[in-house]
Structure 1
């Protein structure tokens, strides 16, 4: 006698669950792969573990009214090409190489401190052009990748503002030092008479004593080695003050940029006046100076240690 064929309601259900699991698994793998690809794409440009490759700068714009185009006037706007240089009569250029602090993140370009420096230069009748080469999120490695592109400009002064993002990401201070040294060396090689201004940063205290000590020592030591003017902490009297920073608590407001411009101008003005006297053959009002490397200009050595970009 044949046995009756049994039907089970469980088998189709089991097969259905297995198929659903396989579909969910495939979707999970696909989603993870997409996320990984996005993360790699976002971080590839800022890798700090190999030789820097010169690339076109994301932003390198002049802040003088006659050379800034409509795109560069947008808040945070970028330009693909560096400012055009009039080869027939190039103007001495002051390049601000830095991060979003230099770029004036969240503000019209005219309110960022490089533009405010240009206003002060123009008020004195000095023939210098300011170029804002600040890039949001840039590390010292990013600045190194961009420097060769900027060296085509007739650089008279390089204001170096890099390191804040290295510190915020916990990147190696040794690598930061090497990158900054390479930037300075390449600039000197291309422009032997260039003057340097180093805008220092302070490490956040939560990174530990060893990191803070090594990071903070970089800027004064580089200033001494390269006979550079030194602003020990660019954000003094601005960092951690709510009124002077935007909602993110990191990027200065227009009022904050005014204070930064005042601080930098105290360093830049004597340099530019000295260069102007040299070009015109005028005597130094302070009398003859001894031959030798320029001494580093130090401002406000007694900065509060707790003020740092957070």
Structure 2
């Protein structure tokens, strides 16, 4: 009986030791997130204008902004979740996953151009952007909404309504707003690639500086 009792105590001790080692290994193997390191994240969700279409990875305005943040804003980083060809519907479908993945303190939304070029209903685009803003603010993030403008060939009513979507949403939600991403280069044909849609590398610093005027106040 004494031997049986001793063996049970040894087996119990071995079991507890195994559980302790397993728990320790799990803690050690857990990834160290940016939040755990005390780093705050700026999440950029945009289309090809933010994804750097036709450019090297380090040349786009988002990459240039990330460099500036690394140099001048200790404790911050930039994550670029932009996709060429993205629409507001695509952004609205993706944002929950991106928020969960990156836990951003600031979300930059630069979407709508592809909706406009396809002539999609303005109410649809607005609803999608509204969904993204609500998701971001609901997760505790500040939002910078970056607007676009449409060419006049789409008609005055559509182009005006398109621009008004951004200002109305920013006012409704109290978010920061940059009305027109391409404002610094809008009238400079040499600032665009052959497709006359996407800015060249030499124009990207101007876009970075333009966005910075609205983004920097949020990095506090």
> Please, what TM-score do these two structures have when normalized by structure 1?
0.58
Runs of 5+ consecutive residues of structure 2 not aligned to the other structure: 1-31
CA apart distance, 1:88:
3.4
Give the match for residue 269 of structure 1: 216
What does the per-residue CA deviation read over 1:57-109, in whole Å, with 9 as the maximum and x for residues that have no partner? xxxxxxxxxxxxxxxxxxxxxxxxxxx94563252110110100000001111
Alpha-carbon distance in structure 2 between the residues aligned to 1:185 and 1:122: 28
In the alignment, is the contact (CA less than 8 A) between 2:44 and 2:107 conserved in 1? yes
RMSD: 1.5
Instruction: Report matched runs for 1:227-242 at 5 Å.
Output: 227-242=174-189
> Please, what TM-score do these two structures have when normalized by structure 2?
0.81
CA apart distance, 1:251:
0.7
What does the per-residue CA deviation read over 1:172-212, in whole Å, with 9 as the maximum and x for residues that have no partner? 010000000011111222x22x1111111112211112212
Runs of 5+ consecutive residues of structure 1 not aligned to the other structure: 1-83, 276-310
Task: Determine if the alignment matches structure 1 residue 155 to structure 2 residue 104.
Answer: yes
Closer, same or farther in 2 for the Cα pair 1:113/1:229, shift >3 Å?
same
Task: Determine if the alignment matches structure 1 residue 95 to structure 2 residue 43.
Answer: yes
In the alignment, is the contact (CA less than 8 A) between 1:99 and 1:139 conserved in 2? yes
Give the match for residue 118 of structure 1: 66
In the alignment, is the contact (CA less than 8 A) between 1:240 and 1:249 conserved in 2? no
In the alignment, is the contact (CA less than 8 A) between 1:196 and 1:228 conserved in 2? yes
Give the match for residue 109 of structure 1: 57
Runs of 4+ in 1 over 4 A off after TM superposition: none
Higher relative contact order (Cα pairs below 8 Å, separated by 6+ residues): 2
Give the match for residue 137 of structure 2: 188
Match of 1:137 among 60, 85, 89: 85
Q: Which structure has the greater CA radius of gyration? A: 1
What does the per-residue CA deviation read over 1:29-72, in whole Å, with 9 as the maximum and x for residues that have no partner? xxxxxxxxxxxxxxxxxxxxxxxxxxxxxxxxxxxxxxxxxxxx
**The residue matched to 2:107 in structure 1 has which SS?**
strand
In the alignment, is the contact (CA less than 8 A) between 1:90 and 1:154 conserved in 2? no
The worse-fitting range, judged by mean Cα deviation, of 90-99 and 232-241 is 232-241
CA apart distance, 1:240:
4.7
Give the match for residue 22 of structure 2: none
Match of 1:197 among 144, 148, 151: 144
Task: Determine if the alignment matches structure 1 residue 251 to structure 2 residue 194.
Answer: no
What does the per-residue CA deviation read over 1:119-145, in whole Å, with 9 as the maximum and x for residues that have no partner? 211221421110111111111001111
**The residue matched to 1:110 in structure 2 has which SS?**
coil
What is the aligned length? Answer: 188
**The residue matched to 1:177 in structure 2 has which SS?**
helix
Alpha-carbon distance in structure 2 between the residues aligned to 1:114 and 1:231: 15
In the alignment, is the contact (CA less than 8 A) between 2:38 and 2:75 conserved in 1? no
The worse-fitting range, judged by mean Cα deviation, of 84-93 and 167-176 is 84-93
